[in-house]
Chain A
Amino acid sequence: MKKILLPLFSTFISLLMGLLLGSVIAAFADENPLHILQIIWNSGLGSKYDLGTTLYYANALALTGYSVAVAFHAGLFNIGAEGQLNMATLMVAIVGLTFPSVSPFLGIIISFSVAMMAGALWAGIAGLLKAYRGGHEVISTIMLNIIASALASWLITLPVLRNTENQNPETRQLSLSYFVRGADPLVKFFMDSPTSSSILIIFLLAILLWAFLFRTRTGFAIRATGQNEVAAELAGLNPKLMKVIAMLIAGACAGLVAIGEVNGHTGKFLLGFSPEFGFMGIAVALLARNQPLAIPPAAFLFAILHKGAGDLDIETKNITRDLAVVIQAVVVLSISISPWLEEKILAFMVNHKWGAKE
């Protein structure tokens, strides 16, 4: 029991710390913390449309959360989900614009494969560098993020891709073979909000990734690599290859953001469409303790926060959407010190004979 309860407890404390500091800031800015919470709650879940928008964020956050979590199981810190999802979205748009007249069925299949492949390849570079050349993945993924956004901002200025109808930094609209939003029942249900049926992917992925990581040989090898690379090597588990595989899967997960964006929401690549989903994914994965099954709820929680905080700009005088970032920061910080926290809790329990039963 201790094994599950303790992390659960310290995760709860982390969330509480975030909310607490958020409230303190609100109080400093002369706002009632409860009022702030109410605004966030209403804006995140108040109507079908709001819920739909929240789910749109939750979709992206869960996918980047998986991306960070899978890499983490192999002992890698994937800061590159942002670059991976940008590359994937851009590639889906490019491929879609290149082959506009296919059947919608083929269009979806192409989108899925391109999205996953582009994300996987972009992340795979970092994986290869780490596994075979020892280049630190944190640095290489940061570099790849910057390169991806610079590359994207150049590519969309090319005449073949550029949207000539307006001044936005975006590509032209994809054909209806790819942009299938119109036929999506979920879109209608959520009153035409940005979400789409692509949200179903994240539930499927939660189960698939759990089974992969905790029930298959390769998944086990990935986790062993993260636990003790030397031992994994001696046991014949090929940790180098596992790091690459983990990064490929991580990149494919992040790449799937493209489906919700291009096929389900806008039908094009818009530069800067992601409000740093990749970085928020780090917070999601940490909150979920890298457990795939816990990622959708964690993503949903941060999605409410992100969506709700957007309305703070309008609804309050002194508080802005940035409050959400601060709360996230505090949650991440609290989780980063949770090993220390858990140790203290355990010591406290031992001193007070609470742990006597176990």
Chain B
Amino acid sequence: MILSWAMSILRVSTPLIFASLGGLMSERSGVINIALEGLMLIGAFTAAVVALMTHSPYLGLMAAIVAGALGGLFYAFCVLKLKANQIISGTAINLLAMGMIPLILKILYGSTGATPNLEMNERFLSFPLVLLVFICALIFALFKYTHLGLWISFSGEHPDALESAGISSDKIRWFALTCSGILASIGGASVSIYLSSGYSRNMIGGRGFMSLAAMILGRWRPKTTVLACLFFGLCDVIQMRLQSANLSIALPTQLIQIIPYLMTLIVLTGLVGKSIAPKALGK
């Protein structure tokens, strides 16, 4: 019973953890990333299509990583090279992903709604969980023990200090945004080829924004961010179980759905502990 709950929480949190760690990479380096939603969409779509074509979820994931990296690079190009407003161009990337994917779907499969279903052998059974553990460990270590982690953090706190130490904060941000794209894309892929079988419209359904919320709830720190994602997962699982339990009294499942967002809002009030966003965020 407990194990089954733990497993389902871990499963539904997987995409969130990937994406919110992606958000964390970006925001710790000083760039607001509301394009997470679009990047997840790109990942989910690419993974499903390539898995369908090659019958291999691993190739699907690889393709999603490449697509995510490209997406992250494109966002970096807009905000770092062309100096675009981070929020506006992030919104544009979300819109672009939302609009382009159905058009491509229609050309590929004649339907705007979904890809054909993936067979069991074209999906992941548990690999994303292994990857998740690996990536979490990598990112914890990155910020705790390495110079690169220090650079990323300085790039978000005081980019001029980094520059004066002889390291280009722009380069660090290019790197961080690419990682962010890759991670968000893996998150998206784990929705389409791990949690479900194939891509369908609205599949991401705000998970990108949810990851952003989790990262804020986790106060821009890797460990607490992962915990926040698990908490979001818990709320999700409670809601699903309640829905399927078919209780005679109609419990408002929507209200349970609200809890994570309400909590994030409360964190934004700064009344519980102080908010510690990177100082140069958005600049």
Q: Do chains A and B touch in the complex (CB under 8 A)?
A: yes
The 10 closest A-B pairs by CB, nearest first: A135-B268, A325-B99, A329-B95, A326-B99, A333-B92, A154-B254, A329-B96, A336-B88, A336-B84, A332-B92
B92 touching A143 by the CB < 8 A rule? no
Give the chain B neighbours of A320 by CB distance below 8 A: 102-103, 106, 112
A129 touching B268 by the CB < 8 A rule? yes
Q: Is B34 an interface residue (CB 8 A)?
A: yes
5 further A-B pairs in the complex, CB-CB below 8 A; given A136-B268, A337-B89, A339-B83? A133-B268, A134-B275, A325-B99, A329-B95, A329-B99
Q: Is B150 an interface residue (CB 8 A)?
A: no
Size of interface on A: residues with Cβ below 8 Å to B: 48
CA distance A4 to B92 in the complex (A): 25
Give the chain B neighbours of A324 by CB distance below 8 A: 99
User: Quick one: given A136-B277, A320-B112, are A144 and B89 in contact (CB under 8 Å)?
Assistant: no
CA distance A323 to B261 in the complex (A): 32
B270 touching A133 by the CB < 8 A rule? yes
B interface, by DSSP: helix, strand, loop or mixed?
helix
B269 touching A147 by the CB < 8 A rule? no
Q: How many Å from the CB of B40 to the closest CB on chain A?
A: 15
B262 touching A335 by the CB < 8 A rule? no
> B81-117 CB contact bits vs A (8 Å, 1 = yes)?
0111101110111111011111100110000100000
Q: Is B196 an interface residue (CB 8 A)?
A: no
B264 touching A139 by the CB < 8 A rule? yes
**B112 is contacted by which of A77, A79, A322, A327 (Cβ under 8 Å)?**
A322
Contact residues of B between 217 and 270, Cβ < 8 Å to A = 250, 252, 254-255, 257-258, 261-262, 264-265, 268-270
Quick one: closest A residue to B216, CB to CB? A139
CA distance A135 to B263 in the complex (A): 13
Q: Is A191 an interface residue (CB 8 A)?
A: no
Q: How many Å from the CB of A167 to the closest CB on chain B?
A: 16
A143 touching B112 by the CB < 8 A rule? no
Size of interface on B: residues with Cβ below 8 Å to A: 46
CA distance A304 to B91 in the complex (A): 21
**24 intermolecular pairs with C-beta atoms under 8 Å apart:** A77-B87, A79-B91, A129-B268, A135-B275, A140-B265, A143-B261, A143-B264, A146-B261, A147-B261, A147-B262, A151-B258, A153-B254, A282-B88, A320-B106, A322-B99, A326-B95, A326-B99, A327-B99, A329-B99, A333-B78, A333-B89, A333-B93, A337-B89, A339-B84
Quick one: closest B residue to A29, CB to CB? B107
**A329 is contacted by which of B85, B92, B265 (Cβ under 8 Å)?**
B92
Q: How many Å from the CB of A73 to the closest CB on chain B?
A: 15
CA distance A246 to B3 in the complex (A): 50
Q: Which of B95, B100, B264 has the most CB of A within 10 A?
A: B95
Q: Is B213 an interface residue (CB 8 A)?
A: yes
Give the chain A neighbours of B34 by CB distance below 8 A: 79, 138, 142
Q: Is B24 an interface residue (CB 8 A)?
A: no
Q: Is B212 an interface residue (CB 8 A)?
A: yes
A154 touching B252 by the CB < 8 A rule? yes
Q: Which of A140, A323, A324 has the most CB of B within 10 A?
A: A140
Give the chain B neighbours of A174 by CB distance below 8 A: none
CA distance A134 to B279 in the complex (A): 12
B85 touching A150 by the CB < 8 A rule? no
CA distance A139 to B212 in the complex (A): 8
Q: How many Å from the CB of A143 to the closest CB on chain B?
A: 4
User: Quick one: given A323-B99, A324-B99, A333-B92, are A140 and B87 in contact (CB under 8 Å)?
Assistant: no
> A310-330 CB contact bits vs B (8 Å, 1 = yes)?
000100001110111111111
CA distance A77 to B34 in the complex (A): 12
User: Quick one: given A138-B34, A318-B107, are A340 and B83 in contact (CB under 8 Å)?
Assistant: yes
CA distance A318 to B269 in the complex (A): 48
Q: How many Å from the CB of B270 to the closest CB on chain A?
A: 5
A135 touching B254 by the CB < 8 A rule? no
Give the chain A neighbours of B78 by CB distance below 8 A: 333, 336-337
**B268 is contacted by which of A139, A282, A283, A333 (Cβ under 8 Å)?**
A139
Give the chain B neighbours of A286 by CB distance below 8 A: 88
**A282 is contacted by which of B82, B91, B101 (Cβ under 8 Å)?**
B91
Q: Is B32 an interface residue (CB 8 A)?
A: yes
Give the chain A neighbours of B106 by CB distance below 8 A: 29, 318-320
A326 touching B96 by the CB < 8 A rule? yes
Q: Is A176 an interface residue (CB 8 A)?
A: no
